[in-house]
Structure 1
Amino acid sequence: MNFCYKKITVKVGSNVLTKSDGTLNVARISHLVDQIAFLHKHGVEVILVSSGAVAAGRSELKLQKKLDTVSSRQLCSAVGQVLLINRYADFFREHGIVCAQVLTTKDNFADRDHYLNMKNCITTLLENNVVPVVNENDTISVSELMFTDNDELSGLMASMQNSEALIILSNVEGIYDGDPSLPTSSIIEEISPKEKDWMKNVSTQKSGFGRGGMLTKSSIARKVAKGGIAVHIASGLKDHVLTDILRTDRHVKHTLFTADGRKSSNVKKWIAYSDSFAKGELVINQGARDALYSDTASSLLLIGVVMVKGIFEKGDIVKIADESGKLIGWGKAQFDSEKAQAEAGTKNQKPVVHYDYLYLIEE
């Protein structure tokens, strides 16, 4: 049987794994595992990023008093993670497959060494035919250190592991060219890296049980595709949707973000998800901005820096903004803030942010 990918990351949302009353949809989890097991046995490496723990814990608990949002998530997640991973382990065991739980927080990706440790962990599991089941560790996360939702985590995992594709399974069939509730709206089946107008029609509505929505999924999909990884957004409520997407002889109506032909390096993929770890900011002039967005690969030189904000060390992530205050990207600083401030505007030819450690937001 022919599959279009041999290594994928699959993200499944809370709205796929839970029923309307908030309890786990065991039948849907079982069917998802059946599909992953089928691919696994045909030589496809699969990393599963699974939501559902908080919803599972919430349905199990009878709270005696009202809790704040963070405490409630911590409690529900601690209980729900056990329920969720036990379900996965039982269903994978029926196929003779071992799965492993990998819990992480956003802070684990702030440091390059921690990032590489996580990468090594997932790689070792895959090399030993173990299916990683990844989720955010909500039991110790706090609001400012949380991922936007598991869409962001799945994008980071796909990039980290150099997956050929990221498949996001939601409770909708894809991205629509208008309000999904209107009969005149239809699914955009393919979005290329050069298309820019499609996002104005994306719904800003949040999902029922998850933290994210289609806007988050679209933004993550664009970033992942820019790094050279195809992204599929499809309905996880459709039977066999995962295996059908991978089969070359099937067509499933959904949205595909085609991969940019220029694959990013592993370091640039890490940089792409490091904006929330920025320690300072470099404000640049129009000439530097034009150079960064030109067709020629360009590093950021000190001559284009007009202001340095914040305190940072060499090797820290810094934001890059233009003089109007618009964020245009971020990267790894080659100087500390004191030296960058002292030499801003000079002709020192060593870049303050090298192209290899630079991520730019699309214009």
Structure 2
Amino acid sequence: MAYNYHRIIIKIGSNVFTQKNGLPDLKRIGHLVEQIAEIKKQGHEVILVSSGAVASGRSLITVSDKYDPVAARQLLASIGQVKLINTYANLFDQYGILCSQVLVTKEDFRDRMHYLNMKNCLEILLQHNVIPVVNENDVVSVTELMFTDNDELAGLIASMLNAQALIVLTNVDGIFDGDPTTDGAKIIEEVSSTPIDFSAFVSSDRSQFGRGGMITKSTMSQKVAQLGIAVHIANGTKDNILTDVLANKAVHTHFIPNKNASGKKKWIAHSGNFATGVVQVNDGAKTALTSNKASSLLPVGIVNIITEFKKGEIIKLIDEHDKLIGFGIAEYGADKANEMIGKKNQKPLVHYDYLYLEC
């Protein structure tokens, strides 16, 4: 049975976009654009998250080894971003489709206002039948400010836009239960809502041209699926892969969506890097928060305010063994929270509606 998704995020990885020599594979990109045009014709909304700026830059200029790798990457990305979006613009134009460039950094997700501004931009593009081509701005993103890779960015965009599905294209058929180069390894075709520790059998090696590996993809996919979005990891080097995945004809890994979460919960789920405060809770509070019953974090369950925070900021919740429980939006600041530690019948520090649990 075919998948009937309205809004789809398609992520094209570096190893799909790039040939072995490090230059763009224009024939493959052209074929993927042809499939995306067909998907749009069927009535689906498509947002494209595409790597390839550095590879595109590499096709235009040669950088000497004497330059710092970060500076070289910035040079290639800056030149390549122009080439990349022109490549997509020319290819989509063949099908009468407009595309736009949206360059983002991790900082753009740092607060609710930035987040909503970006969401509004993408929404109005979709309303005007434009395909947004989203990529990390490698010109200004360096080291700790960078996404793990575009897998993380694609997960953020899928959650932000309440997409029904995220299709991650890589250069293998999906997630395997062992080393895919060995005879005994089998593809995991379906991942249910029960969390899996992928590190037990998935290689942590990074791809040849990308910054992330299959562990990144697995972890991100599981998180996105738990927020109610189906994730498909498939082989972007195969012909007709996008249309075959949507028709349920391709062998690949499908993460089944678990539950729908509110827009704010989806933002909180991906905002851990921007948490300002750290709050430690006791075992009773942890049990209440992680039970099947909807619970808010009350002051009676707080043990310690480890790091200061203000009202409305993202805070990290940890247990008495310093293990991460989740994230939430503070209903009031650290000063007030300190005054109410251990007290009963007080206003929640984090309301259930603004709480995302990792465990």
TM-score, with structure 1 as normaliser: 0.95
- The within-5 A match list for 1:259-298 is 259-260=257-258, 262-298=259-295
Alpha-carbon distance in 1 for matches of 2:282, 2:2: 51
Aligned to 1:177: 177
Cα deviation digits, residues 90-119 of structure 1 (max 9, x gap): 100011111101111111111111111111
Alpha-carbon distance in 1 for matches of 2:175, 2:52: 22
- The within-5 A match list for 1:149-298 is 149-196=149-196, 199-247=199-247, 250-260=248-258, 262-298=259-295
CA contact (8 A) 2:328 2:356 kept: yes
SS in 1 for 2:116: helix
Q: Which runs of 5+ in 1 are unaligned?
A: none
Mean Cα deviation higher: 190-199 or 318-327: 190-199
Mean Cα deviation higher: 332-341 or 119-128: 332-341
How many Å apart are 1:6 and its aligned residue? 2.0
SS in 2 for 1:340: helix
Moved over 6 A (4+): none
Aligned to 1:327: 324
Q: Does 1:51 align with 2:51?
A: yes
SS in 2 for 1:259: coil
Amino acid at match of 1:237: T
* CA RMSD across the alignment: 1.5
Amino acid at match of 1:346: K
Alpha-carbon distance in 2 for matches of 1:275, 1:7: 25
Q: Which runs of 5+ in 2 are unaligned?
A: none
Mean Cα deviation higher: 156-165 or 55-64: 55-64
How many Å apart are 1:313 and its aligned residue? 0.8
Mean Cα deviation higher: 161-170 or 332-341: 332-341
How many Å apart are 1:348 and its aligned residue? 4.5
Alpha-carbon distance in 2 for matches of 1:189, 1:114: 37
- Identity among equivalent positions (%) equals 55
Aligned to 1:337: 334
- The within-5 A match list for 1:131-146 is 131-146=131-146
Match of 1:355 among 349, 352, 355: 352
Q: Does 1:309 align with 2:317?
A: no
Alpha-carbon distance in 1 for matches of 2:187, 2:220: 18
Aligned length: 359
Q: Does 1:346 align with 2:354?
A: no
TM-score, with structure 2 as normaliser: 0.97
SS in 1 for 2:9: strand
How many Å apart are 1:329 and its aligned residue? 1.0
Alpha-carbon distance in 1 for matches of 2:2, 2:260: 24
Mean Cα deviation higher: 352-361 or 227-236: 352-361
Cα deviation digits, residues 24-81 of structure 1 (max 9, x gap): 0000110110000011112111000001112222343222453334323221210111
Cα deviation digits, residues 313-336 of structure 1 (max 9, x gap): 111111111111111211111121
SS in 2 for 1:168: strand
CA contact (8 A) 2:281 2:317 kept: yes
How many Å apart are 1:241 and its aligned residue? 0.5
Change over 3 Å in CA distance of 1:202–1:130 after alignment to 2: same
